[in-house]
Each structure stands twice: as structure tokens, then as C-alpha cells.
Amino acid sequence: MRVIGMLGGMSWESTAQYYRLANELVRDRLGGLHSARILLSSLDFADIESLQVHGEWEEAGRRLAQSARELEAGGAEMLVLCTNTMHKVAEQIQAAVTIPLLHIADAAARAVIAAGLTTVALLGTNFTMEQDFYRERLARSGLTILTPPPVDRAAVHRIIYDELCLGIVQDRSRQIYHDIITRLSQVGAEGVILGCTEIEMLISQNDSPIPVFPTTRLHVDAAVSLSLDIESTPSSP
């Protein structure tokens, strides 16, 4: 079993889901008392969030790259960055190590294509929805990406940072997301990528009129499959 290196803490709420899911998948696939081999580097999200807000992405990338090097030195044989937004600096991280960084957008794209869809909505932080680093990565796979209008983007972003990153899960916020997804489906979205690892705390397939693609679960599935050297078979949302 290859050792999975996790760059986490951004936020720790979703990183906890990464750890849980990885161990559950290994247990399900190997049975018995098997669990995942994991090294975790957990950063202080307050520091990273401040760098995000001030546009200091190069410094954020430098800090993540240093953590990645430490994970490799500790024995990690692959890396997963436990956040969608910070994949903005994925190339900087990959350049700092010799082990592979599994890109979360690639895992999402594979699942969408496997489902036979071509046009999907993307929900995430404003950084993820508005900047090119994530949408263009998905588009390379031939997908058409739809994002909400500005007012809805602001609501999605606010709920992530003011609620989900703090472990707050509210029914009224779930309804807001449901309504946004519904509007996106009405303008052509065949499915929706939950492009923020915290969103899965709030939204499941039961909360969406179109297929949901949970990036946390899909990312972990890809990591566990590589760890166990088996073909990735993403589980249902």
C-alpha cells in the first residue's frame, strides 16, 4: 500500500472528511482491520485565507510546497491537496517534489465524462468559480462549464467561509444552494461539480435536481486507487 500524503487544514473540517473517506475506502476494498497509510500536514487556514484575500498566491504556494517537500521526506508516495481553491498553486507544489500530485479537477472531470455528461455547473469559492485555473483544467477534458451569476456566486462563497469552514451546517443555506443548482439546471447544466471540499457537508444527491459530483469523495477515491494500485471506480454521490 502506497503512503498518501495529505496537504490539509484548508479547512480542517473538510480535511477530516478526507481522512475518514480514505480509511473507509481502504477498509471496504481490503476488508478486515485494514486502514489507509496516510501522512498529514495540516496548515493554519487563517494564514492561508489571509494570503488568498490579499492575492499573495505565490507566498501561499511557497508554504504549501514546503509542506509537500516535508511529506515526501517523511515517506509519502503521492500527494493530495485537500482543497479545491488552493489548486491554483498546484503547479508550484508539483515542481517542489518528485512524487505525483493528484489534481482534484482531473478526478472530477473523469467522473463527469464517465457519466456521459458534457455541460456541468461549478460551485466553489469565488476564486474557483471566477478564475481560470480550475475551469480551464476541466475544459481541457472537453467539458463546458457553467457558473452562477454574481449574486449567486457571492452567496455560495459566503456560506463556504462564514459557515461550512466553521462547521456550521444550516437548512436555509442548503435551500439556497438547491435553488442555485436548480437555476443552473434550467440554463443547461446536466450536472453540478461541488468544487469546494466543504460543500459536501451541506449538499448531497438528495439536495440536487441534477447529478452531483462530490470532489472530495472523487479525489480520495483516486488517491486510494493509486495507493492500492487498482483501477479507480468512483462511488455514487
What CA–CA distance (Å, rounded) separates 60 from 159?
Answer: 23
User: Facing residues of 5 across strands?
Assistant: 39, 79
Cβ proximity of 189 and 146 under 8 Å: yes
Task: Output the CA–CA distances (angstroms, integers) from residue 82 to 9, 70, 214, in the order listed.
Answer: 8, 16, 13
Cβ proximity of 122 and 193 under 8 Å: yes
Q: Residue 54's Cα: distance from chain center in Å?
A: 22
Q: Cβ contacts of residue 13 below 8 Å, gap of 6+?
A: 164, 165, 166, 167, 198, 201
Catalytic status, residue 196: yes
Catalytic residue among 15, 83, 125, 216: 83
| 196: amino acid identity, one letter | C
Catalytic status, residue 165: no
How are the residues of the chain apportioned to helix, strand and coil, as percentages rounded to the nearest 5? 55, 15, 30
What CA–CA distance (Å, rounded) separates 80 from 10?
Answer: 12
What CA–CA distance (Å, rounded) separates 234 from 26?
Answer: 13
What CA–CA distance (Å, rounded) separates 5 from 195?
Answer: 21
Cβ proximity of 210 and 181 under 8 Å: yes
Catalytic residue among 196, 197, 215, 216: 196
What CA–CA distance (Å, rounded) separates 212 from 124?
Answer: 13
By annotation, the residues acting in catalysis are: 83, 196
